Structure 1
Amino acid sequence: MTDREPQGQLLDGRYRVGPRIARGGMASVHEALDLRLHRTVAVKIMHPGLGDGTDFAARFVREARAAAKLSHPNVVAVYDQGEDDGTVFLAMELVTGHTLRDTIAKESPMSPARALALLEPVVSALAAAHRAGIVHRDVKPENVLIADDGRVKVADFGLAKAVGTDTQHTATGGVLIGTVSYLAPELVSEGTSDARADVYAVGVMLYELLTGSKPHEGETPIQVAYKHVHEDVPAPSLRASGVPSYVDALVARATARDRSQRPADASVLLHHLHRVSQALSSGVSDDEDLTQDLTPLLAAIPAPAAGSAPVEEHRVGDTSPEVWEPEELTGLADPDGDPSAEPGAGPSTAAAAAGPTRPARPASRPASRPASRPAPRPAGRRRWRGPVVLLLALLLASGVGLGAWWFGWARYETVPTVLGQSRASAVQELEEAGFEVDLADGVYSESVDKNHVVSSTPAPGERVLPGETVTLVLSLGVEKYPVPGLEGLTTDAARAALAEVQLELGRVKEKFSEKVESGLVIRHDPAEGKQLRPGSVVDVVVSKGRRPLNVGDWVGKDADRAEQTLERKGLVVDRSQEQYDNTVPEGFVIAQNPQGGTLFRGETVTLVVSLGPDLVTVPSVRAQGVESARQELEALGFVVETREASGYLGLGYVFSQDPSAGERIPRGSTITLTLI
């Protein structure tokens, strides 16, 4: 599996390798299925031939184990490490999303507040690593992952060290670990690094977020590396508007070429970052004290051109400036070419083989004129005056030196680094170091656990007098607020109630309600008491009032069906009124109230139901006089008609009737009498 695509392979009998999701200079990353735990992971497979066989594998295992010890919400978790048929791999947490490089491409240049918000979890992760003794060595936007839900995670801890240990780096033949745009000067010129190299890389990323471009660019990696050693990172405000001076100072402090001027580690940088973020959130456009505090003591001066006199960097009041020469960029040729370079001095020179060059000693001065002999002095005076003056000078120098040492250094104590520690642990460590401890108001933090130290004043690493007070700012945890009860409120009142706890009104859905008045909130999601972060939205369901129910027209229709339909809608049916009707069949609706329209649930619909025709038995009126027969039939509700029989005699008696006697016919029907 060394040269073919690993997709579909089974690593260590456990990880089924899926499609490739990323590829870098050291490894390719694939999605994989952990068959043992039935979860999806990311598997980083090192490129074939990287390192030196078993030695590399041993180093890789050591560094992977060290990285696996990191437990931090902003660090990509390392689950497992292994080797399968010569393939070295690492199983890690799968973060679905994009990288900080993608964000830079889309959003840069961005506001200082946005840039610091993106870097805060990165620096927090590096601080945890530095406290554990782990230096990343390859901090760059490609190693900062941003999940779809907004979580920020740093990947590839310890891998650069595994590849770079005992590896000579030169301009041509060696391996230069870390992307050249983010390499600290000491990594280029000396081949050494510590936590301050990570701090430098973060400073470069901050510059890139603010301006949208890298601080040092060139046609070749050698030119870029040369600039890291000999040129300061410019102030972001020169390329981007709206960058306060104290943000410029933060970038300058993090990217100082003299690593002693940078924050000692990411914990100290995190403290500075919190101070700057607080100033930005407070709307401070200029803070002279903060700017002066963050500005590095050394003012950067561009490096001299090849062949010119050395240019010095001055600290205010410093009488022993440090000299920088182009030759200090060990193993890297001047990108513009140096015609004065010695023949045969190529870029493959080892890093440890070069150092600062000394100015040539001036040639002896020619004796252009005879020197006059000085007048002789008394021998006795010469014998004692010189030693006395020398002794006095030594005593004076010693006194001044001791005084300066005592008043400028020895009587001060270094403030311990307690960032990220619990309250009890931090207080104990500071008190044991001889300091008083005071607690300031807590602040919310996305990265520092509740009741752990977010910042301290004076800052970690500062030297102050013993017994002075160190003020600690503790984390209140992630800023969250409970959802208030919104039931029964209007939409405007609900929006105002949410704004009081820094929440926002989300979707408003309307629904009929038989219990809640129109325009008032019926329910909301999330429910009351749920803890949410500031800016989260709460969706509400608002009442449209009672649902109107269509009654319909049921006249002439089956009363039973009408009753079932209306009751299913929630209406009450009154069909107590019944009456005979010769035109409407029995059981059908003769009339209703109301006649159509709408009602609300529980209201009544009255139906008048037909009993059918009113049937009456026809009596016998044969042989009766016509008037007597008419009266009897009309009294029963019939209509009487008469006609004369054939051979009518004029007697006026009923000869026959139709319908005949005994039949049941509807009241109002016509009976025909035949007279004789």
Structure 2
Amino acid sequence: MHDPVKDSLVDTLVDDRYFVRSLIARGGMSSVYLATDRRLDRDVALKVLFPHLAADRGFLRRFESEAKSAARLSHPHVVGVLDQGITDSLAYLVMEYVPGRTLRGLLDERHALSPRLALALMDAVVEGLAAAHDAGLVHRDVKPENVLLADNGRIKIADFGLARAVSTSTNTGTLVGTVAYLAPELVTGDGGDERSDVYSAGILLYEMLTGRQPFTGDSPIQVAFAHVHSAVPAPSALCPGLAEDLDELVRWCTARDPEERPVNGRALLGELRHIRTTLTDEELDFRCTTGSASGDMPTEALSRSGAAAATGATEVIGASDPTSIIDASALDQDPHGSDTGRDANHTEVLSRSEHATTVFPGGLGTAGDDGDGTADGYPHDGFEDGEDDEGDDGTGNEQAGTRAQRRLARRADRNRLRDSDRQAHRPQVGLRSGRSGRRGVLLALVLTVLLCAAAFAGWFFGAGPGALVSIPDVSNASVDEAGDQLGGAGLNFTTTEVYDEVVAAGFAVGTDPAAPGEVRRYRPVTLLVSKGPQLFAVPNIVQRSLDAAESDLADAELALGGVTEEYSETVSAGAIISQRPTPDTMLRLGATVDVTVSKGPAPVEVPSVTGQSEEAAVKAIEDSGLTAAVAPDKVNSATVPAGAVVSQTPEAGLLERGQTVTLTISLGPRMVEVPNYVGRRAEEARADLEGRGFNVQVENLLGGLLGLVRDQDPGAGTAPEGSTVILKVV
């Protein structure tokens, strides 16, 4: 068995801020990591896009724009986007860390849910979608894997904007989404809007009520085919006994024609809450026992080729024509003979990890039934459970007739109000018609609730916790003064210490978010308090080479300063003799350390020993710090006596200590034969002697009239070369 390969990002620091602790999930578009924000000391979920997406400049521009849009969306049921960044090697998104699990985990555990719990969960999901739709955002990938159930009972929707950014950046022959929840208009390439999210929410409700997805098949293209050409069946067809109002709600959300659906999440939310208050306890607590849990349906990429290729985490079918997503002919007839009775998930290879992007193992928390018709963590809608808008005399026949009349009236109302709903973009279409008098009472109640909600919203966002507050500039103020300014502005704040090179320790560096700026009063602000400059210990770099010393200083967050050179008898050339400051001195980030570098031993002047005896010459050279060497061959010299130094190499100049001076020793003058010149002419004798290397001295006797040599000194024999021969001439 091989050990798992460690992810290259784990235990690294991204963008000098986010320390990656572990890999949470890896999917078709990105990998998700648990990371720690070093600046604010908090856990975050770090979504890092795959390199092929990060290398697409067009996608990066769309990704940055979508991230900014998603970051402006602040809602209790939406996972907050905290930051995004693009470095030389990666593009990432920083999201709120939500410990818990996904709705997929709950469905795997419980299969079908009771209508009470399903509607309570849908309330949070649709409320989050409504807030996003109001802000102009479309999710495009609503599914159980993107619904996070926090340990504290909160329900949040994750991954706003990412699917849209990927879809926009890819070629037009590729569609990104989760095929089991994909709206028909996205499959056919007609484009999607808020109503596409409503369709996916309807499929999600169907799965919560029945424990199954409405369409399955051997391949994703078969499931997409079913979305385009088949109507979503009523949940009660799989779970007999479910309230007919739930059938109507699911069919309204999943109408194949977008014009037949609620125009956005806000329109769906009103009807959802109305149904929650009008169903009886028996209908709310009904449990389907015939459904089965459906597996994950990973995010898929479909093309008009009509074939599926399970290639890894994301299933991609190559686009043969960049002008459309799926060929119309492929949607007019089933290319593979779709069998909706089989499970499409067995053909897929993507693990569930991509869809649990910000969730960790945990339970549902407190998001369960609490007996009042709501679930903990959800806002109460103003109606009491069991309150109905119908009259009933207690007889089953009359009740059945009344329900049938209501369904007919409901369909007529929906068709009549559809056009006005689209124009107003805030429809409140009722699926129950009820009696006319009761409808008037309900309308009055709804108007009252809306007026109260508007008044509350006005107070909340005007003077209450949701009001915008300007962040004061607290830099260089004491902690108490900064706290007073933030508290005076009505802001809640926490304190974090940071290093700062300018602000003295104990004083405020600033805030996060920084001033000037505005935040909602309920949003926390972090007060950054200076710990003073960060200090680093100077390493010992004596005896180190200059390159090694520079590397040691860089590792210590310091820098090499001035460099001087001097001779040293003990430190080899190129090594550092001394440093300033000394080791273990504490310096600020980037401070410099000056060094003195050895040039080796100082040079020695060569003494002149020519003419000295060999012994004296050797001693003089060695005393100066040099090495004397005697040449093996001695030479004759007419001027230097035997045993003395005739010459030296070098004769003078500077040498490094220990270098060699070579001495040549004299053999004395060479002995040359002296002929007998008595009786010979003086001029001839003189010329011959000089040719032999002698000096000639002539002494004339009686005036030297004859010019003949009478005597010579020395006489015939040998004499030292260069010596003087005296000729006496008559």
TM-score (norm 1): 0.45
The TM-score with structure 2 as length reference comes to 0.41
State the structure with bigger RCO (CA 8 A, min sep 6), 1 or 2: 2
